[in-house]
Structure 1
Amino acid sequence: MASRPIVPVQARGEAAIGGGAGKQQKKNGAAEGRNRKALGDIGNLVTVRGIEGKVQPHRPITRSFCAQLLANAQAAAAAENNKKQAVVNVNGAPSILDVPGAGKRAEPAAAAAAKAAQKKVVKPKQKAEVIDLTSDSEGAIEAKKKQQHHEPTKKEGEKSSRRNKPTLTSVLTARSKAACGMTKKPKEKVVDIDAGDAHNELAAFEYIEDIYTYYKEAENESLPRNYMSSQPEINEKMRAILVDWLIEIHNKFDLMPETLYLTINIIDRFLSVKAVPRRELQLLGMGALFTASKYEEIWAPEVNDLVCIADRAYSHEQVLAMEKTILGKLEWTLTVPTHYVFLVRFIKASLGDRKLENMVYFLAELGVMNYATLTYCPSMVAASAVYAARCTLGLTPLWNDTLKLHTGFSESQLMDCARLLVGYHAKAKENKLQVVYKKYSSSQREGVALIPPAKALLCEGGGLSSSSSLASSS
């Protein structure tokens, strides 16, 4: 009878060492650790086949140590099966030789159990990268260090550089936008023109924007309509002669600029509502100047002064009667935005010198003297005078964001009116009405009338029509 195999004491749940019991071979043919046995000793003393009677050193059974013991025991069992040794079941079961095919099933089952145990316990170690320090090449060492830190390789760097290169499509698109003027230009800085008036109480710094917003809304309400068709005895030439004479009187009395522009506004509004005979047109001018002087000046001219200036063509009573008629027809409305209030603001926004200021006033007075400018509102005439003056003096830029903000007009909107003013400038020297030209030819006003007009605007305008030409009023 064969000797009884000694099974080492195992932890709970581990596979049994040896061939296993017969019942377990019938179920699965492999020692999977499902055979349970009563504890023989709790001292964890292990007895191995071949060294029976010798006690191994006291060592706690760890998972790796148990797997090693299991592998050794299964290897010994496989050797015994190869030698065709008979193994007897502990409970008196028949020999393994009596069961056909039992040996063949036991070998692969034992090998599978050993592999499963090794997979659970043994963990493969990662292969450490070794840097060869014996090499003299610093480039090789740096390359290996970059690989350890996962830096991009040479190929990755080449790919990124290729991505940054502009494509043919982007180059063609950029050229097309540049040719069409669609490129993004740096935004100009808008200048705060009122910053210097923060401590000036007379400048109305806190309300200046609201004031000019109101002026913009009110200028259309007081805008004179086209009245020449309703005046049977008056034409554009007579009006130009009257305004030219009033500018001369205004200059002799040294009145405020506001007085001149208000006088012209009163005349145009009165002619819009009442027909005036030719013989009373000069009287209308005298009454308008007298009324505007009372409104704007501290020391207004006396009636007798105006009578003397007119070479006593009208009496004292006639001047006062015309003043009363004017106020009645205009319903005493004298607070209106004239060209002057816009000229002051726009000249300030242009940030120019005194030469530019005189050029603007010169073009503005040429404009108000001619009837054709009545089709434009006062703010547009003032802005066009600033634009035409900048073109005449060759200032750059001709128009900027600061002027666009404060005037409310773009460069294209002012082009027609600006060409009209430059046309008046070009014909001022040959015109019979020389008061404005002589006034701004003096050195006191920088001689701006002697400066050649902006020929670029005249060429773009293609000439002036006969109705808007200054020659038509001469």
Structure 2
Amino acid sequence: MANGDAVPKILPKGGGGGEVKKKNGQANGRTRRALGDIGNIVTGPAVGAKPQTKVSHPITRRSAAQLIAKGQEPVQKNKTKPLVTKGVAARKVGVPAKAEAIKKDYVKAKAGTISGICPEEDVKTIEKIPLKERKVRKSGKTLTSILTARSKAACGLSNKPRSQIVDIDAADIDNHLAGVEYVEDIYKFYKLTEDENRPCDYMDSQPEINDRVRAILVDWLIEAHKRFELRPESLYLTVNIMDRFLSEEPVPRRELQLLCISSMLIASKYEEIWAPEQVNDFLTITDNAYVRDQILLMEKVILGKLEWYLTVPTPYVFLVRYIKAAVPSDQEMENMTFFLAELGLMNYTTVISYCPSKIAASAVYAARSTLNRSPRWTDTLKHHTGYTEDQLRECAKQLVSFHFGAAENKLKAVYRKFSSPDRCAVALLPPARDVHIGSS
């Protein structure tokens, strides 16, 4: 009986000449496949197989292209079972292909095409997407443009090109007295402060004054202003001082003329280069109804009540600027504007209802309408005045209605003043029909 040493050793199934397979599962001469096929890992050569070029790194498209360029082929991992990349339908890895095709795939991969992540039928390469579809479709306006437009609208600024707005200060660039560097800021300040120095509605607090009496006083002031040959700004400041004082203090009718000449004396001292030299000049035009001390006392009372504040933006301040902006402007245009503005100065409702800048802008608009200037309102005027045609139309209609009734009105100081040839006789021109709302 044979001993245990004579028993032949059991060989593993399917092969001979190898060692017995151990319980720990180590394969004879092979690396154990822990996770199955992963597609691009090159394993060692099988026992007895022909030696292959040793590759110590995974085969990528780039390295495969380099191998092919050197006359080599990428190593197949398994000749009997094709490897399928996860998510890619039946694509063999390592099959020899032309270098140009692999290079093309590599270029596509760098451009952003990713293979092996989703099925090929669902993948759209960048080359297949039209250029216009690749761009992000944006709405016509961005948030920044919308906020900018709203900010400009809130500030009253225009979005129109600057080239449409005439530089009215270009001719005065060398005139140091014109203050070209500061004129825009000055008028912005005037518009901000014009409401602080406007007279309030004082007719209810003045028992002996009505609209008609005030119109008579202003008509008389215009005559006195013309007789003394004073500057235009003196007239507007005189009326402003008178109205502001009446807003603060009730005045009996017998002292109204005294208030007028005292206001003109103050305005002359403030505005004129050569003011009337003696108070007696003002006493003369009143037929000596008052004495010198009364005028000086009233002057002191007025200045105290107004707290000596005389630097105020009157309609004249805006008139000279807006007439300059009404390019092209001529003498006829200038006189027509002042004619309509002084008609408005006599009307109590106009002075109380509208601020000085609007009265001045409306006078320019009404004058352009009367003289048939086209267009009636330009971008330059809109820029410098800050008003549109719709904002000025109502006030302009009032001024034109005063023009309709100027010839029949008993108070003719303004009408006579602007009927003279040296004023281009603008008062004799027919009023503008398209803004007329009826005489008042």
Fold shared, TM-score > 0.5 on shorter chain: yes
Aligned residue number for residue 309 of structure 1: 285
Q: Which residue of 326, 329, 333 maps to 2:302?
A: 326
Q: In 2, distance between residues paired with 1:353 and 1:256?
A: 20
Worse-matched range after superposition: 246-255 or 188-197: 188-197
Aligned residue number for residue 7 of structure 1: none
Q: Which residue of 323, 343, 349 maps to 1:347?
A: 323
Q: In 1, distance between residues paired with 2:354 and 2:179?
A: 28
Q: In 2, distance between residues paired with 1:187 and 1:281?
A: 50
> Does 2:428 align with 1:453?
no
C-alpha contact (below 8 Å) 1:284/1:322 kept by paired residues:
yes
Q: Give the aligned residue type for 2:322.
A: F
Q: Which residue of 406, 409, 414 maps to 2:384?
A: 406
Structure 1 residue 299: deviation in Å? Answer: 1.6
Structure 1 residue 333: deviation in Å? Answer: 0.3
Q: In 2, distance between residues paired with 1:278 and 1:250?
A: 21
Q: Which residue of 152, 168, 175 maps to 1:193?
A: 168
What SS does the corresponding residue of 1:355 show, helix, strand or coil? helix
Tell me the alpha carbon deviations over residues 168-200 of structure 1, each in whole angstroms, 9 at most, x when there is no partner.
xxxxxxxxxxxxxxxxx9997110001111100
Mapping of residues 203-242 of structure 1, within 5 Å: 203-242=178-217
Aligned residue number for residue 410 of structure 2: 432
Cα root mean square deviation, aligned: 1.8
Mapping of residues 81-120 of structure 1, within 5 Å: none
Q: Give the aligned residue type for 1:452.
A: P
Tell me the alpha carbon deviations over residues 446-465 of structure 1, each in whole angstroms, 9 at most, x when there is no partner.
0000000001111xx3x35x
Q: Which residue of 233, 241, 246 maps to 2:221?
A: 246
Structure 1 residue 338: deviation in Å? Answer: 0.6
Q: Give the aligned residue type for 1:338.
A: T
Mapping of residues 8-407 of structure 1, within 5 Å: 189-301=164-276, 302-351=278-327, 352-374=329-351, 375-407=353-385
Structure 1 residue 223: deviation in Å? Answer: 1.0
Q: Give the aligned residue type for 1:256.
A: R
Change (3 A) 1:186 1:419: same
Structure 1 residue 368: deviation in Å? Answer: 0.5
Q: Give the aligned residue type for 1:340.
A: Y
Q: In 1, distance between residues paired with 2:363 and 2:175?
A: 28
Q: In 1, distance between residues paired with 2:215 and 2:238?
A: 14
Structure 1 residue 340: deviation in Å? Answer: 0.6
Q: In 1, distance between residues paired with 2:162 and 2:176?
A: 33
C-alpha contact (below 8 Å) 1:360/1:385 kept by paired residues:
yes
Q: In 1, distance between residues paired with 2:342 and 2:171?
A: 29
Q: Give the aligned residue type for 1:306.
A: F
Q: In 2, distance between residues paired with 1:365 and 1:325?
A: 27
Q: In 1, distance between residues paired with 2:243 and 2:283?
A: 22
Aligned residue number for residue 34 of structure 1: none
Q: In 1, distance between residues paired with 2:163 and 2:213?
A: 46
Q: In 2, distance between residues paired with 1:280 and 1:256?
A: 25
Tell me the alpha carbon deviations over residues 223-264 of structure 1, each in whole angstroms, 9 at most, x when there is no partner.
111111111011111110010011111111110111000000
Structure 1 residue 372: deviation in Å? Answer: 1.1
Q: Give the aligned residue type for 1:379.
A: S
Aligned residue number for residue 23 of structure 1: none
Structure 1 residue 348: deviation in Å? Answer: 0.1
Structure 2 residues without counterparts, runs of 5 or longer: 1-97, 99-159
Q: In 2, distance between residues paired with 1:425 and 1:273?
A: 31
Structure 1 residue 303: deviation in Å? Answer: 0.6
Change (3 A) 1:393 1:317: same
Structure 1 vs Structure 2: percent identity of aligned residues? 62
Structure 1 residue 420: deviation in Å? Answer: 0.2
Q: Give the aligned residue type for 1:213.
A: K
Q: Give the aligned residue type for 2:288.
A: R
C-alpha contact (below 8 Å) 1:188/1:401 kept by paired residues:
no
Tell me the alpha carbon deviations over residues 121-153 of structure 1, each in whole angstroms, 9 at most, x when there is no partner.
xxxxxxxxxxxxxxxxxxxxxxxxxxxxxxxxx
Q: In 2, distance between residues paired with 1:400 and 1:341?
A: 20
Aligned residue number for residue 393 of structure 2: 415
Runs of 4+ more than 2 Å apart: 185-188
Q: What is the TM-score normalised by the length of structure 1?
A: 0.58
What SS does the corresponding residue of 2:265 show, helix, strand or coil? helix
Q: Give the aligned residue type for 1:328.
A: G
Aligned length: 282
Q: Give the aligned residue type for 1:260.
A: L
Larger radius of gyration: 1
Q: What is the TM-score normalised by the length of structure 2?
A: 0.62
Q: Give the aligned residue type for 1:330.
A: L
Change (3 A) 1:186 1:317: closer
